[in-house]
Amino acid sequence: MSSQNPKLSRRTLFAGAGTVGVVAAATSLLPQVQDLAPQVLPKAKPERGGGYELSEHVKRYYKTTLV
């Protein structure tokens, strides 16, 4: 078994440097990626306690319990 030692030639070095340069230029020209997820703001606490909210999920549950 002969192990091959890869030789770093001038051509390989310049090709790699050119590739890195192209990738860096393309990255700088791309628009900045923005977070597209909606920002969820926390709801204020109710002043008189409780906090029960009749949501669509709860309404669906109530419909399943009808006899």
pLDDT at residue 48, rounded to an integer: 78
Residue 67 in 3-state DSSP?
coil
Contacts of 29 (CB under 8 A, 6+ apart): none
pLDDT at residue 24, rounded to an integer: 87
pTM above 0.85, yes or no: no
DSSP track, 1-65: ---------HHHHHHHHHHHHHHHHHHHHSPPP---SPPPPPPPPPTTS------HHHHHHHHHT
Tens digits of residue pLDDT in 12-65: 888 889 999 988 888 877 766 565 667 778 777 777 777 777 889 999 999 999
Are 51 and 45 in contact by the 8 Å Cβ rule? The answer is yes
